Amino acid sequence: MDIIIVGSGRVGRTIADHMNNEGHSITIIDEDVHALEKLSDTQNIMTIEGNGATLSVLKEANVSTCDLLIAVTATDELNLYTCLIAKNAGVKRTIARVRNPLYTKDLPFVKDDLKLSLAINPELLCSRELTRMLKFPGVESMASFARGHIDMIKIKVDEKSPLADKKIVQSSHMFKDGVRFCTVERDGECYIPNGDFVIKAGDLISFIAPSKAAAKLLKSLGIVSNRGRSVLLLGGSRIAFYLAKDLSEAGISVKIIDNDKERCLELSEALDDALIIYGDAMDQDLLLSEGIEHVDAIVTMMNTDEENLVSSLYAKQVNPKAKVITEIGNLKISNVFENLPLDTMFNPKRIAGENIMRYVRAMHNSRDSEFESVHPIADSKAEALEFRVLKDNLATGISLSGLDLKDDLQIACISRQGKMIIPKGSDTIEVGDIVIVITKHKGLTDLEDILR
């Protein structure tokens, strides 16, 4: 596909990197010539210096024959205007990053008038993911498939876990509701395990289970699944606003500490049920006086990675039972922190990029199967892909044992009429099924792509 990206900030660079790796033709437009030079030196993409909201620059990028334009500058209004100009100039589809909560609320009323295909709010998407994590404090991450009927859950195995030092096949008797182990992350590597794979303490394991059985399953593994009653947010960012709103509506006590007085006033006016505290979130005395030792969860999302890391390490030291979630803005160095005693790290740019990539892949749908979602695993070393089977194809009607599947790929689950099936070799894929595939291969957009 021919794709134009307007804006070469972190989101733009992240999206360009993903799409370039999947073989799309990428053009990035920005007025920052130094940022463009750096991009062209490191990636095989075309760059154009100029204002992406002007028709002349868009024409230089051949917008009329382009499949997709993505506007991810720092300004919402500029992104929306760019998409409108590009659509009138002939681009097939447009995506805009829109971060202002007021605009996000109003967009459904004007989306068609703006000729906008998709609006992405990284902070709102991030808040929703964090809310899921805080609902299950013992979980590293959680993603939903099959329209909410199936969950993929990632946990860390400790020495006391009933899974430790056992082959996967030896643990199957524990899970009456049906579970499929999908990936194991160990020492920077990601494995798609078979039944003989031995799980070790310290492993990060991802598995698929019915959503209605998630809480019961986690309890059987000794993992706390009760929603936290109190959460402390360090930093008053947009993510903090959305998250505080979601948590307060769920009946959870929320405190926000921020050192910007004007921002504190804005938050106190917008959030009726959250306690806003003006102060330095790096001040240990302040944190202790606000009860950091006793809260159920702490989320650090201040201005720099260094602040977030230091405050998260301190929080874990004074309150080791709390769920501590850390924002890391620099994706390139995130693996450096994997061995630190931190619970969970998140990156809003990555989340935005993943949602845009899901949309792009959906544009590649064949007539036989529809690509519905993608969930990256282990820093994108593997992916969980969801397909809906629309009609018979080369993968349907044949026993799974008879399919010539690619290496490093597993059919993890089949959802048929709302019922979850953990597939065996004798099972088949049928029209109407939702199929979840775990793979290390990149760029799969059709169910038939799982075959050699």
Determine the pLDDT at residue 370: 72
Determine the pLDDT at residue 412: 93
Three state DSSP letters for the chain: CEEEEECCCHHHHHHHHHHHHCCCEEEEEECCHHHHHHHHHHCCCEEEECCCCCHHHHHHCCHHHCCEEEECCCCHHHHHHHHHHHHHCCCCEEEEECCCHHHHHHHHHHCCCCCCCEEECHHHHHHHHHHHHHHCCCCCEEEEEHHHCEEEEEEECCCCCCCCCEEHHHHHHHCCCCCEEEEEEECCEEECCCCCCEECCCCEEEEEEEHHHHHHHHHHCCCCCCCCCEEEEECCCHHHHHHHHHHHHCCCEEEEEECCHHHHHHHHHHCCCCEEEECCCCCHHHHHHCCCCCCCEEEECCCCHHHHHHHHHHHHHHCCCCEEEEECCCHHHHHHHCCCCCCEEECHHHHHHHHHHHHHHHCCCCCCEEEEEEEEECCCCEEEEEEEECCCCCCCCCEHHHCCECCCEEEEEEEECCEEECCCCCCECCCCCEEEEEECCCCCCCHHHHEC
pLDDT digit string, tens, across residues 342-395: 788 888 887 887 788 778 877 765 555 677 778 888 877 899 999 999 889 999
Determine the pLDDT at residue 242: 93
Determine the pLDDT at residue 224: 61
Determine the pLDDT at residue 293: 96
Determine the pLDDT at residue 95: 94
Domain 2-120 has CATH 3.40.50.620: no
Q: Where are the domains of the chain?
A: 2-120, 128-220, 230-346, 357-450
Positions in the chain short of pLDDT 70: 176-177, 224-228, 331-339, 364-369
Q: Domain 128-220: which topology?
A: Alpha-Beta Plaits (3.30.70)
Q: Domain 230-346: which topology?
A: Rossmann fold (3.40.50)
Tell me whether the CATH fold assigned to 2-120 matches the one assigned to 230-346: yes
**Domain 357-450, what architecture?**
2-Layer Sandwich (3.30)
pTM over 0.85: no
